[in-house]
Chains A and B, each alone.
Chain A
Amino acid sequence: MRLCYAVPGKVVEVGGEIGVVDFGNGVRREVVLAMVDAKPGDYVLVHAGYAIKVLDEEEAKKTLELYSQILGLAEVR
Protein backbone atom coordinates (compact mmCIF):
# COMPACT_ATOMS: atom_id res chain seq x y z
CA MET A 1 0.00 0.00 0.00
CA ARG A 2 1.19 3.49 -0.74
CA LEU A 3 0.97 5.85 2.20
CA CYS A 4 0.56 9.05 0.26
CA TYR A 5 -1.67 7.83 -2.55
CA ALA A 6 -5.41 7.17 -2.56
CA VAL A 7 -7.30 4.98 -5.00
CA PRO A 8 -10.53 6.08 -6.69
CA GLY A 9 -13.58 3.85 -6.39
CA LYS A 10 -17.35 4.02 -6.71
CA VAL A 11 -19.58 4.02 -3.63
CA VAL A 12 -22.16 1.23 -3.95
CA GLU A 13 -23.59 1.12 -0.46
CA VAL A 14 -23.83 3.55 2.45
CA GLY A 15 -24.70 2.41 5.96
CA GLY A 16 -24.04 5.11 8.54
CA GLU A 17 -20.33 5.90 8.72
CA ILE A 18 -19.36 2.73 6.87
CA GLY A 19 -19.93 1.97 3.21
CA VAL A 20 -18.93 -0.38 0.43
CA VAL A 21 -16.72 0.89 -2.41
CA ASP A 22 -16.23 -0.83 -5.76
CA PHE A 23 -12.71 -0.47 -7.20
CA GLY A 24 -13.49 -2.34 -10.42
CA ASN A 25 -12.42 -5.85 -11.44
CA GLY A 26 -14.67 -7.26 -8.75
CA VAL A 27 -12.73 -5.68 -5.88
CA ARG A 28 -15.08 -4.35 -3.20
CA ARG A 29 -14.11 -3.14 0.21
CA GLU A 30 -15.69 -1.86 3.36
CA VAL A 31 -14.66 1.77 3.76
CA VAL A 32 -15.12 4.37 6.50
CA LEU A 33 -17.13 7.24 4.98
CA ALA A 34 -17.30 9.36 8.14
CA MET A 35 -15.06 12.13 6.83
CA VAL A 36 -16.79 12.70 3.49
CA ASP A 37 -20.34 13.38 2.38
CA ALA A 38 -20.77 10.51 -0.09
CA LYS A 39 -23.80 8.86 -1.59
CA PRO A 40 -24.12 5.75 -3.74
CA GLY A 41 -22.79 6.43 -7.23
CA ASP A 42 -20.18 8.97 -6.10
CA TYR A 43 -16.53 8.41 -6.83
CA VAL A 44 -14.36 8.67 -3.74
CA LEU A 45 -10.63 8.60 -3.13
CA VAL A 46 -9.91 5.83 -0.64
CA HIS A 47 -6.80 5.66 1.48
CA ALA A 48 -5.95 3.17 4.25
CA GLY A 49 -9.55 2.09 4.65
CA TYR A 50 -11.31 5.45 4.63
CA ALA A 51 -12.58 7.88 2.01
CA ILE A 52 -10.57 11.11 2.01
CA LYS A 53 -12.50 12.99 -0.69
CA VAL A 54 -15.47 12.77 -3.03
CA LEU A 55 -14.05 13.35 -6.51
CA ASP A 56 -15.48 16.32 -8.32
CA GLU A 57 -16.56 15.00 -11.72
CA GLU A 58 -17.26 18.44 -13.19
CA GLU A 59 -13.82 19.68 -12.20
CA ALA A 60 -12.17 16.61 -13.69
CA LYS A 61 -13.66 17.58 -17.02
CA LYS A 62 -13.24 21.32 -16.67
CA THR A 63 -9.50 21.29 -15.91
CA LEU A 64 -8.76 19.51 -19.17
CA GLU A 65 -11.15 21.64 -21.18
CA LEU A 66 -9.57 24.77 -19.79
CA TYR A 67 -6.15 23.57 -20.74
CA SER A 68 -7.04 22.37 -24.17
CA GLN A 69 -8.30 25.90 -24.75
CA ILE A 70 -5.12 27.49 -23.46
CA LEU A 71 -3.10 25.13 -25.61
CA GLY A 72 -5.23 25.91 -28.63
CA LEU A 73 -6.57 22.39 -29.06
CA ALA A 74 -10.06 21.57 -30.17
CA GLU A 75 -12.40 19.70 -27.83
CA VAL A 76 -10.49 17.03 -25.91
CA ARG A 77 -13.10 14.35 -26.13
Chain B
Amino acid sequence: MGWDLRQALRHYRNPRLARKILEKIREIAKDLEVVKIMHVCGTHEWTITHWGIRALLPENVVVRAGPGCPVCITPASDIDSAIKLALDGVNVLTYGDMSRAKGSRMVSLEDCRAQGGRVGVVYSFMDAVKLARSNPSQEYVFLGAGFETTAPIVAYAVLKGLPENLKIISSHRYVPPAVGLLAESEDLAIDAFINPGHASTISGMKAYKPYFDRVRKPMVFAGFEPLDILLAIYMILKQIKDRNPKMENEYRRAVTWDGNLDAQKNLREVFDFDDGYWRGVAIVPDSAMNFKEKFSKVDARKIYGLASGKGDHFPSNARCAEVIKGLIDPPECPLYMKSCTPATPIGPTMVGVEGTCRIWAQHKVVGIKCRSGVCEIGSQPPRAKRMFEG
Protein backbone atom coordinates (compact mmCIF):
# COMPACT_ATOMS: atom_id res chain seq x y z
CA MET B 1 0.00 0.00 0.00
CA GLY B 2 0.98 3.65 0.13
CA TRP B 3 1.56 3.73 -3.57
CA ASP B 4 -0.80 4.48 -6.32
CA LEU B 5 -1.65 2.29 -9.26
CA ARG B 6 -1.43 5.18 -11.67
CA GLN B 7 2.11 5.76 -10.49
CA ALA B 8 3.02 2.12 -11.03
CA LEU B 9 1.55 2.18 -14.51
CA ARG B 10 3.74 5.16 -15.44
CA HIS B 11 6.68 2.80 -15.26
CA TYR B 12 5.19 0.84 -18.13
CA ARG B 13 6.30 3.76 -20.26
CA ASN B 14 9.76 4.07 -18.77
CA PRO B 15 12.13 4.82 -21.67
CA ARG B 16 15.22 3.47 -19.90
CA LEU B 17 13.59 0.14 -19.32
CA ALA B 18 12.21 0.12 -22.86
CA ARG B 19 15.70 0.56 -24.30
CA LYS B 20 16.99 -2.22 -22.11
CA ILE B 21 14.28 -4.61 -23.24
CA LEU B 22 14.92 -3.65 -26.86
CA GLU B 23 18.60 -4.46 -26.38
CA LYS B 24 17.67 -7.90 -25.06
CA ILE B 25 15.25 -8.42 -27.93
CA ARG B 26 17.97 -7.59 -30.46
CA GLU B 27 20.42 -9.86 -28.70
CA ILE B 28 18.11 -12.88 -28.74
CA ALA B 29 16.91 -12.19 -32.28
CA LYS B 30 20.48 -12.51 -33.61
CA ASP B 31 20.33 -16.25 -33.05
CA LEU B 32 16.90 -16.69 -34.62
CA GLU B 33 15.43 -17.01 -38.09
CA VAL B 34 12.46 -14.86 -39.05
CA VAL B 35 9.88 -14.87 -36.26
CA LYS B 36 6.32 -13.98 -37.21
CA ILE B 37 4.20 -12.83 -34.27
CA MET B 38 0.49 -12.09 -34.54
CA HIS B 39 -1.69 -10.17 -32.12
CA VAL B 40 -5.47 -10.33 -32.30
CA CYS B 41 -6.50 -7.14 -30.60
CA GLY B 42 -7.07 -3.77 -32.25
CA THR B 43 -5.82 -1.96 -29.18
CA HIS B 44 -2.54 -3.87 -29.31
CA GLU B 45 -2.24 -2.61 -32.88
CA TRP B 46 -2.88 0.89 -31.60
CA THR B 47 -0.12 0.61 -28.98
CA ILE B 48 2.33 -0.86 -31.50
CA THR B 49 1.62 1.78 -34.14
CA HIS B 50 1.30 4.70 -31.76
CA TRP B 51 4.67 4.07 -30.14
CA GLY B 52 6.30 3.11 -33.43
CA ILE B 53 7.35 -0.24 -32.02
CA ARG B 54 7.67 -2.05 -35.38
CA ALA B 55 10.46 0.23 -36.51
CA LEU B 56 12.45 -0.48 -33.36
CA LEU B 57 12.38 -4.26 -33.70
CA PRO B 58 15.11 -6.22 -35.45
CA GLU B 59 14.30 -7.02 -39.09
CA ASN B 60 13.66 -10.68 -38.45
CA VAL B 61 11.01 -9.99 -35.82
CA VAL B 62 7.73 -9.30 -37.59
CA VAL B 63 4.52 -8.30 -35.81
CA ARG B 64 1.24 -8.64 -37.68
CA ALA B 65 -2.25 -7.51 -36.81
CA GLY B 66 -4.87 -10.27 -36.89
CA PRO B 67 -8.66 -10.00 -36.72
CA GLY B 68 -8.88 -8.04 -33.47
CA CYS B 69 -11.45 -5.46 -34.45
CA PRO B 70 -15.02 -6.48 -33.63
CA VAL B 71 -16.54 -3.93 -36.00
CA CYS B 72 -14.39 -5.29 -38.84
CA ILE B 73 -15.43 -8.91 -38.44
CA THR B 74 -19.16 -8.32 -37.93
CA PRO B 75 -20.84 -10.02 -40.91
CA ALA B 76 -22.16 -7.72 -43.63
CA SER B 77 -25.54 -9.46 -43.54
CA ASP B 78 -26.06 -8.49 -39.89
CA ILE B 79 -25.50 -4.85 -40.80
CA ASP B 80 -27.95 -5.32 -43.71
CA SER B 81 -30.54 -6.82 -41.36
CA ALA B 82 -30.25 -3.93 -38.93
CA ILE B 83 -30.57 -1.42 -41.79
CA LYS B 84 -33.71 -3.13 -43.04
CA LEU B 85 -35.27 -2.95 -39.57
CA ALA B 86 -34.31 0.71 -39.19
CA LEU B 87 -35.97 1.55 -42.52
CA ASP B 88 -39.07 -0.40 -41.44
CA GLY B 89 -39.52 1.90 -38.47
CA VAL B 90 -37.82 -0.11 -35.73
CA ASN B 91 -35.41 1.94 -33.57
CA VAL B 92 -32.01 0.34 -34.10
CA LEU B 93 -29.40 1.00 -31.45
CA THR B 94 -25.72 0.11 -31.61
CA TYR B 95 -22.20 1.27 -30.68
CA GLY B 96 -20.79 4.33 -32.46
CA ASP B 97 -18.29 2.66 -34.79
CA MET B 98 -20.69 -0.13 -35.59
CA SER B 99 -23.14 2.41 -36.99
CA ARG B 100 -20.53 3.53 -39.54
CA ALA B 101 -19.53 0.12 -40.89
CA LYS B 102 -21.02 -0.61 -44.31
CA GLY B 103 -23.06 -3.70 -45.13
CA SER B 104 -23.17 -5.59 -48.41
CA ARG B 105 -24.64 -2.70 -50.42
CA MET B 106 -22.04 -0.20 -49.20
CA VAL B 107 -24.58 1.40 -46.88
CA SER B 108 -24.06 1.83 -43.15
CA LEU B 109 -26.64 2.38 -40.42
CA GLU B 110 -25.51 5.98 -40.32
CA ASP B 111 -26.11 6.35 -44.07
CA CYS B 112 -29.57 4.84 -43.67
CA ARG B 113 -30.42 7.41 -40.98
CA ALA B 114 -30.02 10.05 -43.67
CA GLN B 115 -32.68 8.15 -45.65
CA GLY B 116 -35.08 8.27 -42.73
CA GLY B 117 -33.92 5.11 -40.96
CA ARG B 118 -34.25 5.15 -37.18
CA VAL B 119 -30.78 4.70 -35.75
CA GLY B 120 -29.39 5.58 -32.34
CA VAL B 121 -25.93 5.23 -30.81
CA VAL B 122 -25.26 4.04 -27.25
CA TYR B 123 -22.13 3.73 -25.11
CA SER B 124 -23.33 0.72 -23.13
CA PHE B 125 -26.07 -1.84 -23.56
CA MET B 126 -27.43 -0.51 -20.25
CA ASP B 127 -28.18 2.78 -22.06
CA ALA B 128 -30.25 0.83 -24.59
CA VAL B 129 -32.18 -0.76 -21.73
CA LYS B 130 -32.85 2.66 -20.19
CA LEU B 131 -34.00 4.10 -23.51
CA ALA B 132 -36.40 1.25 -24.19
CA ARG B 133 -37.77 1.44 -20.68
CA SER B 134 -38.52 5.14 -20.90
CA ASN B 135 -40.23 4.82 -24.30
CA PRO B 136 -42.47 1.76 -23.88
CA SER B 137 -44.55 2.45 -26.99
CA GLN B 138 -41.49 2.27 -29.26
CA GLU B 139 -39.91 -0.89 -30.66
CA TYR B 140 -36.12 -1.21 -30.18
CA VAL B 141 -33.49 -3.57 -31.60
CA PHE B 142 -29.90 -3.53 -30.39
CA LEU B 143 -27.20 -4.66 -32.83
CA GLY B 144 -24.78 -6.28 -30.39
CA ALA B 145 -21.27 -6.74 -31.73
CA GLY B 146 -18.03 -7.33 -29.86
CA PHE B 147 -16.02 -10.10 -28.25
CA GLU B 148 -16.30 -11.69 -24.82
CA THR B 149 -15.22 -8.34 -23.40
CA THR B 150 -18.49 -6.78 -24.55
CA ALA B 151 -20.96 -9.66 -24.50
CA PRO B 152 -21.22 -10.24 -20.70
CA ILE B 153 -23.06 -6.97 -20.04
CA VAL B 154 -25.68 -8.04 -22.58
CA ALA B 155 -25.98 -11.46 -20.95
CA TYR B 156 -26.22 -9.84 -17.53
CA ALA B 157 -29.01 -7.51 -18.61
CA VAL B 158 -30.91 -10.33 -20.34
CA LEU B 159 -30.76 -12.39 -17.15
CA LYS B 160 -32.02 -9.40 -15.14
CA GLY B 161 -34.93 -9.07 -17.55
CA LEU B 162 -35.26 -6.71 -20.51
CA PRO B 163 -38.16 -4.39 -21.20
CA GLU B 164 -40.66 -6.09 -23.56
CA ASN B 165 -39.92 -3.65 -26.38
CA LEU B 166 -36.17 -4.37 -26.64
CA LYS B 167 -34.71 -7.20 -28.77
CA ILE B 168 -31.13 -8.03 -29.69
CA ILE B 169 -29.26 -9.16 -32.79
CA SER B 170 -26.33 -11.00 -31.26
CA SER B 171 -23.25 -10.77 -33.48
CA HIS B 172 -20.94 -11.40 -30.53
CA ARG B 173 -17.88 -13.53 -31.18
CA TYR B 174 -15.57 -15.52 -28.94
CA VAL B 175 -11.84 -15.04 -29.57
CA PRO B 176 -10.06 -18.24 -28.39
CA PRO B 177 -11.28 -20.50 -31.24
CA ALA B 178 -10.24 -17.83 -33.75
CA VAL B 179 -6.72 -17.83 -32.34
CA GLY B 180 -6.78 -21.61 -32.66
CA LEU B 181 -7.76 -21.34 -36.31
CA LEU B 182 -5.14 -18.68 -37.09
CA ALA B 183 -2.47 -20.69 -35.30
CA GLU B 184 -3.17 -23.64 -37.57
CA SER B 185 -3.29 -21.64 -40.80
CA GLU B 186 -0.53 -22.58 -43.22
CA ASP B 187 -1.13 -19.46 -45.32
CA LEU B 188 -0.32 -17.24 -42.39
CA ALA B 189 2.47 -19.41 -40.95
CA ILE B 190 2.51 -17.51 -37.67
CA ASP B 191 5.13 -18.59 -35.13
CA ALA B 192 3.72 -17.04 -31.96
CA PHE B 193 0.81 -15.04 -30.58
CA ILE B 194 0.35 -12.00 -28.41
CA ASN B 195 -3.01 -12.91 -26.91
CA PRO B 196 -5.61 -10.26 -26.13
CA GLY B 197 -5.44 -8.47 -22.78
CA HIS B 198 -8.97 -7.51 -21.97
CA ALA B 199 -10.91 -10.26 -23.71
CA SER B 200 -8.74 -12.63 -21.67
CA THR B 201 -9.68 -11.01 -18.36
CA ILE B 202 -13.09 -12.57 -19.10
CA SER B 203 -12.19 -15.93 -20.68
CA GLY B 204 -9.06 -16.51 -18.62
CA MET B 205 -5.91 -18.07 -20.04
CA LYS B 206 -7.48 -21.50 -19.65
CA ALA B 207 -9.76 -20.90 -22.64
CA TYR B 208 -6.70 -20.97 -24.92
CA LYS B 209 -5.27 -24.16 -23.47
CA PRO B 210 -6.88 -26.64 -25.94
CA TYR B 211 -5.65 -24.56 -28.89
CA PHE B 212 -2.20 -24.16 -27.41
CA ASP B 213 -1.96 -27.91 -26.84
CA ARG B 214 -2.75 -28.48 -30.50
CA VAL B 215 -0.21 -26.11 -32.01
CA ARG B 216 2.35 -25.65 -29.25
CA LYS B 217 3.26 -22.13 -30.35
CA PRO B 218 4.17 -19.43 -27.80
CA MET B 219 1.15 -17.46 -26.57
CA VAL B 220 1.80 -14.46 -24.32
CA PHE B 221 -1.07 -12.48 -22.79
CA ALA B 222 -0.14 -8.81 -22.87
CA GLY B 223 -1.32 -5.42 -21.66
CA PHE B 224 -1.61 -2.17 -23.57
CA GLU B 225 1.33 -0.01 -22.51
CA PRO B 226 4.41 0.07 -24.74
CA LEU B 227 6.45 -1.90 -22.21
CA ASP B 228 3.75 -4.55 -22.02
CA ILE B 229 4.18 -5.18 -25.73
CA LEU B 230 7.97 -5.13 -25.62
CA LEU B 231 8.00 -7.53 -22.68
CA ALA B 232 5.59 -9.85 -24.47
CA ILE B 233 7.84 -9.88 -27.54
CA TYR B 234 10.87 -10.55 -25.35
CA MET B 235 9.06 -13.43 -23.64
CA ILE B 236 8.08 -14.93 -27.00
CA LEU B 237 11.62 -14.74 -28.39
CA LYS B 238 13.00 -16.26 -25.23
CA GLN B 239 10.56 -19.16 -25.49
CA ILE B 240 11.51 -19.73 -29.11
CA LYS B 241 15.21 -19.59 -28.36
CA ASP B 242 14.82 -22.05 -25.46
CA ARG B 243 12.56 -24.25 -27.62
CA ASN B 244 10.08 -24.11 -24.80
CA PRO B 245 6.72 -22.84 -26.08
CA LYS B 246 4.21 -22.04 -23.37
CA MET B 247 1.28 -19.89 -22.39
CA GLU B 248 2.77 -17.04 -20.43
CA ASN B 249 1.18 -14.07 -18.71
CA GLU B 250 2.77 -10.64 -19.04
CA TYR B 251 -0.46 -8.88 -18.02
CA ARG B 252 -0.76 -10.31 -14.54
CA ARG B 253 -2.39 -7.18 -13.16
CA ALA B 254 -5.50 -8.00 -15.20
CA VAL B 255 -5.38 -11.51 -16.69
CA THR B 256 -5.69 -14.68 -14.60
CA TRP B 257 -5.80 -18.35 -15.46
CA ASP B 258 -9.50 -18.67 -14.62
CA GLY B 259 -10.73 -15.29 -15.84
CA ASN B 260 -13.95 -13.67 -14.68
CA LEU B 261 -16.11 -16.57 -13.57
CA ASP B 262 -19.25 -14.49 -13.01
CA ALA B 263 -19.06 -13.13 -16.55
CA GLN B 264 -18.40 -16.61 -17.97
CA LYS B 265 -21.40 -17.96 -16.10
CA ASN B 266 -23.61 -15.23 -17.53
CA LEU B 267 -22.35 -15.92 -21.05
CA ARG B 268 -22.85 -19.69 -20.84
CA GLU B 269 -26.30 -19.26 -19.35
CA VAL B 270 -27.56 -16.99 -22.10
CA PHE B 271 -25.67 -18.02 -25.23
CA ASP B 272 -24.93 -21.17 -27.21
CA PHE B 273 -21.47 -21.11 -28.75
CA ASP B 274 -22.02 -22.04 -32.40
CA ASP B 275 -19.95 -21.94 -35.57
CA GLY B 276 -19.95 -18.35 -36.72
CA TYR B 277 -18.76 -16.25 -39.62
CA TRP B 278 -16.06 -13.62 -39.10
CA ARG B 279 -16.18 -11.10 -41.93
CA GLY B 280 -13.06 -11.35 -44.04
CA VAL B 281 -11.80 -14.38 -42.17
CA ALA B 282 -13.77 -17.63 -42.21
CA ILE B 283 -16.32 -19.63 -40.32
CA VAL B 284 -14.81 -20.10 -36.87
CA PRO B 285 -16.06 -23.13 -34.94
CA ASP B 286 -17.74 -22.49 -31.57
CA SER B 287 -17.23 -18.74 -31.80
CA ALA B 288 -20.70 -17.25 -32.37
CA MET B 289 -22.71 -16.36 -29.29
CA ASN B 290 -26.32 -17.06 -30.27
CA PHE B 291 -29.23 -16.83 -27.85
CA LYS B 292 -30.29 -20.09 -26.30
CA GLU B 293 -33.77 -21.33 -27.13
CA LYS B 294 -35.17 -20.18 -23.81
CA PHE B 295 -34.23 -16.57 -24.59
CA SER B 296 -36.07 -16.54 -27.96
CA LYS B 297 -38.17 -13.69 -26.59
CA VAL B 298 -35.23 -11.29 -26.84
CA ASP B 299 -33.67 -12.82 -29.97
CA ALA B 300 -34.27 -10.44 -32.87
CA ARG B 301 -33.11 -13.10 -35.35
CA LYS B 302 -36.01 -15.35 -34.34
CA ILE B 303 -38.59 -12.58 -33.97
CA TYR B 304 -37.86 -10.81 -37.26
CA GLY B 305 -36.69 -13.92 -39.15
CA LEU B 306 -33.17 -12.67 -39.79
CA ALA B 307 -30.57 -14.97 -41.31
CA SER B 308 -27.45 -15.80 -39.35
CA GLY B 309 -24.55 -13.52 -40.16
CA LYS B 310 -22.48 -14.21 -43.24
CA GLY B 311 -20.84 -12.55 -46.21
CA ASP B 312 -17.72 -10.54 -46.87
CA HIS B 313 -19.05 -8.12 -49.46
CA PHE B 314 -16.08 -5.85 -49.87
CA PRO B 315 -15.99 -3.54 -52.91
CA SER B 316 -13.81 -4.65 -55.80
CA ASN B 317 -10.14 -3.64 -55.43
CA ALA B 318 -10.59 -3.31 -51.67
CA ARG B 319 -8.26 -5.67 -49.85
CA CYS B 320 -9.99 -5.55 -46.47
CA ALA B 321 -10.18 -9.32 -46.08
CA GLU B 322 -6.42 -9.66 -46.43
CA VAL B 323 -5.82 -6.81 -43.97
CA ILE B 324 -8.23 -8.34 -41.44
CA LYS B 325 -6.50 -11.71 -41.70
CA GLY B 326 -3.07 -10.12 -41.38
CA LEU B 327 -1.95 -11.20 -44.84
CA ILE B 328 -1.09 -7.69 -46.05
CA ASP B 329 -0.44 -4.24 -44.56
CA PRO B 330 -2.93 -1.42 -45.28
CA PRO B 331 -0.71 0.54 -47.71
CA GLU B 332 -0.80 -2.48 -50.00
CA CYS B 333 -4.49 -1.80 -50.65
CA PRO B 334 -4.86 0.43 -53.74
CA LEU B 335 -7.64 2.41 -52.04
CA TYR B 336 -5.68 3.20 -48.85
CA MET B 337 -5.56 6.94 -48.26
CA LYS B 338 -6.84 7.52 -51.80
CA SER B 339 -10.57 6.87 -51.91
CA CYS B 340 -10.57 5.16 -48.50
CA THR B 341 -9.69 7.51 -45.62
CA PRO B 342 -10.92 7.88 -42.02
CA ALA B 343 -13.34 10.58 -43.23
CA THR B 344 -14.50 8.49 -46.19
CA PRO B 345 -14.12 4.88 -45.05
CA ILE B 346 -14.88 2.20 -47.63
CA GLY B 347 -14.03 -0.96 -45.72
CA PRO B 348 -14.77 -1.72 -42.08
CA THR B 349 -11.11 -1.68 -41.06
CA MET B 350 -10.99 2.03 -41.92
CA VAL B 351 -14.08 2.60 -39.72
CA GLY B 352 -13.44 1.03 -36.36
CA VAL B 353 -10.95 2.71 -34.03
CA GLU B 354 -9.56 -0.79 -33.64
CA GLY B 355 -9.27 -1.37 -37.40
CA THR B 356 -5.75 -1.66 -38.75
CA CYS B 357 -6.35 0.72 -41.67
CA ARG B 358 -7.86 3.36 -39.41
CA ILE B 359 -5.01 3.11 -36.89
CA TRP B 360 -2.34 3.33 -39.57
CA ALA B 361 -4.14 6.20 -41.28
CA GLN B 362 -4.52 8.16 -38.06
CA HIS B 363 -0.85 7.78 -37.35
CA LYS B 364 -0.14 8.85 -40.90
CA VAL B 365 1.63 5.63 -41.72
CA VAL B 366 1.57 6.05 -45.46
CA GLY B 367 5.09 4.93 -45.96
CA ILE B 368 6.46 2.01 -44.06
CA LYS B 369 8.35 -1.00 -45.21
CA CYS B 370 5.63 -3.49 -45.98
CA ARG B 371 6.17 -7.18 -46.20
CA SER B 372 5.99 -7.03 -50.00
CA GLY B 373 8.42 -4.14 -50.03
CA VAL B 374 6.17 -1.98 -52.20
CA CYS B 375 5.25 0.59 -49.58
CA GLU B 376 8.69 1.81 -48.66
CA ILE B 377 8.13 5.48 -49.28
CA GLY B 378 8.46 7.13 -45.91
CA SER B 379 9.27 6.66 -42.31
CA GLN B 380 7.71 5.79 -39.00
CA PRO B 381 6.02 8.44 -36.90
CA PRO B 382 8.50 10.55 -34.89
CA ARG B 383 6.85 9.53 -31.64
CA ALA B 384 8.90 6.34 -31.30
CA LYS B 385 12.19 8.18 -31.38
CA ARG B 386 11.09 10.56 -28.64
CA MET B 387 9.91 7.76 -26.47
CA PHE B 388 12.56 5.13 -26.79
CA GLU B 389 15.65 6.43 -28.51
CA GLY B 390 15.87 9.95 -27.12
A50 touches B201 (CB 8 A): no
Counting CB contacts under 8 A, is B326 at the interface?
A: no
B198 touches A64 (CB 8 A): no
Counting CB contacts under 8 A, is A27 at the interface?
A: no
Counting CB contacts under 8 A, is B97 at the interface?
A: yes
Nearest chain A residue, comparing its CB with the CB of B145:
A3
For B152, list chain A residues within 8 Å (CB). 35, 50, 52
Counting CB contacts under 8 A, is A48 at the interface?
A: yes
1/0 contact trace for A25-50 toward B, CB 8 Å? 00000001011100000010101111
Counting CB contacts under 8 A, is B24 at the interface?
A: yes
Chain B positions 217-271 with a Cβ under 8 Å from a chain A Cβ: 224, 227, 231, 250-254, 260, 262-263, 266
A48 touches B198 (CB 8 A): no
A35-B156, A49-B127, A50-B156 are contacts. A57–B150 as well, Cβ < 8 Å?
no
Contact of B156 among A32, A47, A57 (CB under 8 A): A32
For A77, list chain B residues within 8 Å (CB). 11
Counting CB contacts under 8 A, is B330 at the interface?
A: no
The answer for the CA separation of A43 and B147 in the assembled complex, in Å, is 23
Q: Could you list some 17 contacts between A and B, CB below 8 A?
A: A3-B42, A3-B150, A3-B354, A4-B196, A5-B224, A6-B149, A35-B152, A35-B260, A35-B263, A48-B153, A50-B126, A62-B252, A63-B252, A64-B17, A72-B20, A76-B11, A76-B14
- List the interface of chain B (C-beta within 8 A of A): 3, 5, 8-9, 11-12, 14, 16-17, 20-21, 24, 41-43, 68-71, 95-97, 123-127, 145-147, 149-150, 152-153, 156, 196, 198-199, 201-202, 224, 227, 231, 250-254, 260, 262-263, 266, 352-354
